[in-house]
Amino acid sequence: MSTFLHDKNNIIVIGHNGYDCHIDNNKINKIFNQKFAKNGVHIKAIDSSIFFCIILTKNNQLYTFGNYCDMFSNKSNDFSKLGTINENIKSIKCGTDTLAILENNGDLYVWGNNIYNKINKSLIEPTVNLNHNYIESQSLLMKNVKLVACGYGVMLILKNNGELFGLMENKSEKLLMMDKEINFICGGSGHFLILKNNGDLFCWRPFLNNSFKIIMKNSEIKQICCGKYHSLILTNSGELFVFGDNLQYQLSLNEQTDTWIPILLMVDIDIDFVDAGYDHSVIVKNNGDVFVFGNNARGCLIANNKDICIKVPTLLMTNPNIKSLTNPRKWKCENHKSFPLNFRLGIWTFLLCMKRNQVNTGLKIPKFVLFEIIKFTV
């Protein structure tokens, strides 16, 4: 569970990679950039688990990289091209050893090992060959799916009607709750976060009595993200809350103990986005400052720092062009660029007419309204 950043030209991999403990991050960066950036191939989406990562390029090519890539091909610790998929992909997610592909129409496909038996034979299409708990090709799992999150032998699925399903090892799917107000989910290895429209934030720990716990109420959350055993919560006012495992100081707390109650780490309105990885955390500010803390074994966070753990947020680099490939902002419309060109041109024409006529009518359109619409359509 690495953090993937990019700066228009290069891909930057931060944090412990489960792909191969003997490959340092400088080599990982070189491998990724030679494969994609230097060949002019742009990455559309990426997701990583403990053992491997999934890469979707803008020309709709799907690749895997890591220890478990031999699940999909005969290669390991190398890029394996899985083929071309259709352009209507909403998101890609990978769990311990299973790949999930969600299309814009709500069809959810799965592929890979099923050694934990979380995917029951009764769920997938009858024509799919579930041979020795291995799904040999992309197989339709569910329809009308809004969001999906993957963990260690667990999958969380939110349907359009508000049904929230949990798929767990050696169990059939279970309806966890029914709530049309759920608008975002994300997952780590053994915990998941569920966010509602009113700002209520729940934590689901399937291996701990399969329990739900509300950890924040009526909050104004800007971003949530899950690492292996810890999570970060960023609010609109710049409050950064942390909770979970702190064994490698990935929460930047004084004591190496875990806490499942969110603790305020800092307040900084200039934080642009955050990311939680295997056992590290990343903070990126509006000016491009990138701060890291957590496990620095083999220099996976800061190469020239010999500390095993970085206990406080420490500046790694400054790059004004830095963006996140791992955790795009949750509030950003994922499909706006798939809108037809004539639709977007129509919006622009409408805005231009309103701008020209507002002087005559005396109606003033706030600049922030225009700005938000322009962001949505560009």
**What gap in Å lies between CA 294 and CA 257, rounded to an integer?**
13
pLDDT in the model for residue 69:
42
pLDDT in the model for residue 113:
72
User: Long-range pairs for 116-121 at CB < 8 Å and ≥24 separation?
Assistant: 116/153, 116/169, 116/170, 117/169, 117/170, 117/171, 118/153, 118/154, 118/155, 118/167, 118/168, 118/169, 118/170, 118/171, 119/155, 119/167, 120/167, 120/172, 120/173
pLDDT band at residue 340 under the 50/70/90 scheme: low
What average pLDDT does this structure show over 68-77? 47
**Residue 175 β-bridge partners:** 165
Does residue 107 sit in helix, strand or coil? Answer: coil
**What gap in Å lies between CA 2 and CA 309, rounded to an integer?**
16
Q: Are 46 and 40 in contact (CB under 8 A)?
A: no
Per cent of the chain over pLDDT 70 is 74
Lowest mean pLDDT among 113-127, 248-262, 289-303: 113-127
pLDDT in the model for residue 334:
37
Burial class for 335, CB neighbours closer than 10 Å (0-12, 13-18, 19+): exposed
pLDDT in the model for residue 240:
97
pLDDT in the model for residue 288:
92
Instruction: Report the mean per-residue pLDDT for the chain.
Output: 80
Checking if the pLDDT of 337 tops 50, the result is no
pTM of the model: 0.80
Does residue 303 sit in helix, strand or coil? Answer: coil
pLDDT in the model for residue 96:
77
Lowest mean pLDDT among 56-70, 170-184, 258-272, 294-308: 56-70
pLDDT band at residue 164 under the 50/70/90 scheme: very high
Cα 327 to Cα 6, 50, 143: the distances in Å are 12, 16, 24
Tracing tokens 């299973």 back to the chain, one arrives at: 98
What average pLDDT does this structure show over 133-154? 84
Tracing tokens 């009526």 back to the chain, one arrives at: 218
- Mutual orientation of helices 367-377 and 341-361 as an angle, nearest 10°? 170
pLDDT in the model for residue 357:
65
Cα Dmax for the chain: 72
Within a 13 Å sphere around the CA of 150, how many CA atoms are in the beta-carbon half?
A: 30
pLDDT band at residue 294 under the 50/70/90 scheme: very high
User: Long-range pairs for 285-290 at CB < 8 Å and ≥24 separation?
Assistant: 287/318, 287/320, 288/318, 288/319, 288/320, 288/321, 288/322, 289/315, 289/317, 289/318, 290/5, 290/14, 290/315, 290/316, 290/317, 290/318, 290/319, 290/322
